[in-house]
Structures are given as C-alpha cells and as structure tokens.
Amino acid sequence: MIVLGIETSCDETAAAVVEDGRTIRSNVIASQASLHRRFGGVVPELAARKHVERLLPVLDEALDQASLTLADIEGIAVTHGPGLVGALTVGVAAAKGLALSLDRPLVGVNHLEGHIYASFLTEPDITFPALALIVSGAHTDLVAMRDHGAYQVLGRTRDDAAGEAFDKIARAMGLGYPGGPELDRLGRRGDPRGVPLPLPMADDSLDFSFSGLKTAALLALRKGRPADPSWRADLAASLQHVVAAVLVDKTMAAARSVRPNTVLLAGGVAANSTLRSLMQAACGQRAYRLVIPPPVLCTDNAAMIAAAGYFRLSRRHRDDLSLSAYSDLPVA
C-alpha cells in the first residue's frame, strides 16, 4: 500500500511517500529554520503561513521523487498533534482535501507515534514488547509498546523537554537556532566533566525535569568563562553528558520492568551523538537490541507519519473529515 504522509506540526513542511510502512519512496523536508532563526525560536503564526506557501510544492516534489502521481496514492496520513495548532491545521486541511478529492482513506497520526515509527523504517523486523524513549523539542516520554498502536506512558517530563532545554541554553550561549545540533557540534571538542552540572532529577521515578538544569547552566555561564572557546566546548559537552546520562539511566530502569525485546530511541534529540553513544553502550552491556534511526529520520519528517499511518490503515482505522488538528498519544 502506497501511503502519502504529511507533517506540518512545527517548522518543517514535509511530505513523503512510503510503501507498506517500511520502504521510503520519497521524503521531502522544507525546513523553516532560517525564517525563525532571527527570533531565536519558532514563531507560530509565521510557521503556519509558511506551511500554506510551501505545502503544495513539497507535495509535488514528494510525488516526483517517488515517480508517482496522485492517482497512485492509496492512503493519506497526516500529523494531527501535538504541535502548533495553526501549523497543524494547514496539513490536516490539505490531507482532508486530498482524501476527499481522490476518494482515498484518511488517517490522523499522533506526532509521537510518528517518531516511534521512524524505527520501523530503519529496521523492519522490530518485535514487541518495545520500550521507546521519545526525546524532542517538546517531549521527553518513556513509552512501553506492547503491539502496533498499543502504548503505555511510563514517565515524562514535568516541565521542559530535553530539546527545549538544549535550545534555550544554546540561545543563552549565543549559539544559532536550533541549539541542539550546535551544542552537539561544539561539545565534540569539550570535556564532558569539564563544567560541574547536577544530574537533572536523578531519582527513582521515571519522570524527567530539565528546568533546574537550565538555571544551573545559566549560573555556570555567569560564573564561568563564556568567551573562552575551550570552556564553552566543555560546557556543551558537560550539558549533553548529564542530560544523556539521566535519559539512559531512566530508560534502563524502565527496561527492568518492561523487559523489552527492543529499545527504540526516537525524536529530534535522538540525533544527538552523546545520547546515541551512551544508549548504545548501556543497551550493549545488557544485551538489549537497540534501534536508533539515522538523524534525518529522528528530526521531524513525513516518512515516519506515513509509516505509522500505514499500520493504522492496515488495522482498518479510518478518520473522516471531522478529524481534529489535535490528539493525545493513543493509550491501550
């Protein structure tokens, strides 16, 4: 089944064509980062307007790259939250229009479920139960997955998401937007123990909290040597180290009760090199199978939405034209 995926939840206008939930025929992503950079973060109204301008050319490009026409599309999957509601509305309206005019089934996909399905594009033979850590600019969730579409949220952030903390600290350091990838680059030259920082919420719960770390990093910036390139690299490396350490420790704690066949690392922050290597080491020691998508499938894209949509459509899930631009992760 050929599924067209549409993703407009934040500042990426994306469309993709995926076959049978596993084979990417095209994956087009038009980033708006340069538009929002001068504001230091995403401006919701500008994001929505840019999606209106770019979505149709991006859809054309996705079909061209897949060497297909609209007539070949057998199902339409679209992100319907969480995200910026104005931005989401653009994608949802376009998906409804296509479904209606082509007479094809429509399915709404929760954005977090989409991030999880980037793993199925990476390794097709994932077996359950799976344990997913979803780390993005807006979420930090530990989710047990018993089967396709069956999720249980085990823990999540009580305040900032890990990516949000990275972006805000990077901004205070005068780095570009988005800050996560900038910190990743800078930290490669630094000492991960060079600047002492607290392990954020390193307790027995499976919840996270990153707002205190933001304050600690801002204090370190005030007291440290923010103009010294090697100190800045140490700060970037230390920051990523404490964040990754807590994310990995809590994932391993959750794994003791879930006993997963597979651990999945998902979301934009899964592109982070420190997190990838600490998670690989921890899963390696305990002989857990770990799946981490390539960075381009970790950050927002529509291929993951098409993949998740395919599995929903295969279970006969259909949405109608009343589909809302907002959803929670479906729990079961």
Phi, psi of 129 (to 5 degrees): -70, 150
Q: How far is the CB of 267 from ligand KG4 (least distance, A)?
A: 5
Kindly state whether residue 179 participates in binding ligand KG4, applying the rule CB under 6 A.
yes
Kindly state whether residue 234 participates in binding ligand KG4, applying the rule CB under 6 A.
no
Which of 184, 241, 290, 297 touches ligand KG4 (CB under 6 A)?
A: 184
**Facing residues of 268 across strands?**
none
Q: How far is the CB of 301 from ligand KG4 (least distance, A)?
A: 8
Nearer to ligand KG4, 250 or 276 (CB): 276
Question: What tokens does 127 get?
Answer: 């077996």
Instruction: Kindly determine how many residues on this chain lie close enough to bind Zn ion according to the rule CB under 5 A.
Output: 2
Kindly state whether residue 300 participates in binding Zn ion, applying the rule CB under 5 A.
yes
Q: How far is the CB of 293 from ligand KG4 (least distance, A)?
A: 11
Burial of 93 (0-12, 13-18, 19+ CB in 10 A): middle
Residue 87 half-sphere exposure, CB side, CA atoms within 13 Å?
23
Question: What tokens does 159 get?
Answer: 């305040």
Nearer to ligand KG4, 171 or 318 (CB): 171
3-state secondary structure of 31: strand
Instruction: Kindly determine how many residues on this chain lie close enough to bind ligand KG4 according to the rule CB under 6 A.
Output: 19
Kindly state whether residue 167 participates in binding Zn ion, applying the rule CB under 5 A.
no
DSSP 330: P
Binding mask 2-41 for ligand KG4 (x = CB under 6 A): --------x-------------------------------
Amino acid at 39: F
Which of 260, 299, 302, 308 touches ligand KG4 (CB under 6 A)?
A: 299
Compute how many other C-beta atoms are within 10 angstroms of the C-beta atom of residue 240: 26
Q: How far is the CB of 162 from ligand KG4 (least distance, A)?
A: 8
To 10 degrees, the CA torsion angle through 132, 286, 252, 311?
A: 10
3-state secondary structure of 106: strand
Which of 91, 105, 108, 267 touches ligand KG4 (CB under 6 A)?
A: 267
Kindly state whether residue 291 participates in binding ligand KG4, applying the rule CB under 6 A.
no
Nearer to ligand KG4, 117 or 166 (CB): 166
- Sign of the Cα pseudo-torsion (88, 93, 98, 99, in order): positive
- Binding part of the chain for ligand KG4, among 19-27, 90-98, 177-185, 190-198 by CB under 6 A, reads 177-185
Nearer to ligand KG4, 108 or 267 (CB): 267
Kindly state whether residue 238 participates in binding ligand KG4, applying the rule CB under 6 A.
no
Burial of 224 (0-12, 13-18, 19+ CB in 10 A): middle
Q: How far is the CB of 300 from ligand KG4 (least distance, A)?
A: 4
Compute how many other C-beta atoms are within 10 angstroms of the C-beta atom of residue 64: 12
Q: Residue 237: which of 273, 192, 198, 175 has the closest Cα?
A: 192
Residues that bind ligand KG4 (CB under 6 A): 10, 136-138, 163, 166-167, 178-181, 184, 267-269, 271-272, 299-300
